[in-house]
Amino acid sequence: MADTAKIVVTRRIPEPAVELLREAGDVWVSPDDRPLETQELHDAVKGADVAVTLLHDKIDDAFLDAAGDQLRAVCNVAVGFDNIDVPAATRRGVLITNTPGVLTEATADLAMTLILAVTRRIGEGERLLRRREKWSWHMFMLLGMGLQDKTLGVVGMGAIGQSVARRAKAFGMEIVYSDARPASEEVERELGARRVELDELLSSADVVSIHAPLMDATRHLINAEALAQMKETAYLVNSARGPIVDEAALVEALRSGQIAGAGLDVFENEPEVQPGLLELDNVVLLPHLGSATIETRTAMGVLAAKNAIAVLRGEQPPTPVNPDVLEGAAS
């Protein structure tokens, strides 16, 4: 390993991760928590051997050009890597890594929180009290939907989808899911989960929860047509990536009563939130908090650091996205 390896971290990450990185080279960490502007990002990464990046950093040809030919890896501190042009990196022999596994439970907790919050009208109740309005308990106040015996439709039955299904089952829900790849028989048996086509999921689920990655095939997967297939009493929850849902169509569906409500942790043009959503009472909105626990964010940073260090030491990184780059280097 070159002892002067240059490691660029594009935004503050937990200190244990930075300490690990310091053992492997000279580390520059962006001093604050805002995303760098494109030019700042390109200036910062110039001459880096490894870049440790965050989910809103755009890693494309321009970034890779700005970094230079010595760049060996981009270690994203996120499980999602839709911010990265992986084929462009692969063409240049730049390894991409992500942080799967360590955020599964925290993200599933958050999805379940949204499911409960929107079906039990938690935001509306909280806002009512904060408005300091007069209120008194009555039989019909802010009635929501109970989860027992209702159906959860999981769109994308990867690790996070399965963990959400596990939680929902404990709340008495039936599970259906759609995914290009079936879950293992063991998982289906454990969760009593049935794989169905997306159309059937949309028309039968009481809560539709999205856990698919963002890619061409899932961009606007939940559009006006998909929303029209949902029951008027059903809720949509998205804690995956904003652009999977056509937000304008969602606002319309919520306004018209096409669906009962939505819980959103992610947005189509983050950090912007559609003004239409902000005006609606039947929506619970969170600022992309899926993995936001101290333990999980630390584990994400540490895993990204381990990936970076392995690359610099010529070892096998724990979680590569384009391992063919490593095979190419070995041959």
Active site residues: 241, 270, 288
Please provide residue 173's backbone torsions phi and psi, each rounded to the nearest 5 degrees: -90, 150
State in angstroms the smallest separation of the CB of 289 from ligand DGY.
8
Under 8 Å CB-to-CB from 224, ≥6 apart: which residues? 246, 249, 252, 253
Task: Output the smallest distance, CB 80 to ligand DGY, in A.
Answer: 3
Backbone CA torsion sign across 151, 101, 329, 28 = positive
| Residue whose CB is less far from ligand DGY, 6 or 167 | 167
Judged by CB, which is closer to ligand DGY: 78, or 168? 78
Judged by beta carbon, residue 121 or residue 288, the one nearer ligand DGY is 288
Q: Is 97 in the site for ligand DGY (CB under 6 A)?
A: no
Among 79, 212, 222, 249, binds ligand DGY (CB under 6 A): 79
Residues 275-304 binding ligand DGY (CB under 6 A) are 290-291
Binding to ligand DGY by residue 78, rule CB under 6 A?
yes
Task: Output the smallest distance, CB 32 to ligand DGY, in A.
Answer: 19
Q: And the tokens for 44?
A: 């910062």
DSSP 36: P
Closest listed residue to residue 322, CA positions, set 66, 51, 45, 85: 85
Residues 45, 59, 95, 103: which binds ligand DGY (CB under 6 A)? 103
User: Residues in contact with ligand DGY, total (CB under 6 A)?
Assistant: 7
The residue (of 25 and 320) whose beta carbon lies closer to ligand DGY is 320
117-122 CB contacts, 8 Å cutoff, 24+ apart:
117/263, 117/284, 118/235, 118/237, 118/261, 118/262, 118/263, 118/282, 118/283, 118/284, 119/144, 119/145, 119/146, 119/147, 119/207, 119/235, 119/261, 120/144, 120/145, 122/284
Do 249 and 273 form a contact (C-beta atoms < 8 A)? Answer: no
Shortest separation between residue 291's beta carbon and ligand DGY, angstroms: 3
Tokens 């006006």 sit at which residue? 224
Chain center to CA of 144 = 27
Binding string, 191-220, against ligand DGY, x = CB under 6 A? ------------------------------
SS3 23: coil
Nearer to ligand DGY, 10 or 204 (CB): 10
Burial class (CB within 10 angstroms; exposed 0-12, middle 13-18, buried 19+) of 144: middle
| Contact of 312 with 72, CB cutoff 8 Å | yes
Q: Which residues in the 48-77 window bind ligand DGY by CB under 6 A?
A: 55
In the complex, minimum distance from the CB of residue 239 to ligand DGY, in angstroms, rounded to a whole number: 8
CB 331 to ligand DGY: min, Å: 31
- 14, 25, 80, 317: which one binds ligand DGY (CB under 6 A): 80
Residue 317 as a binder of ligand DGY (CB under 6 A): the answer is: no
Residue numbers at the binding site for ligand DGY (CB under 6 A):
55, 78-80, 103, 290-291
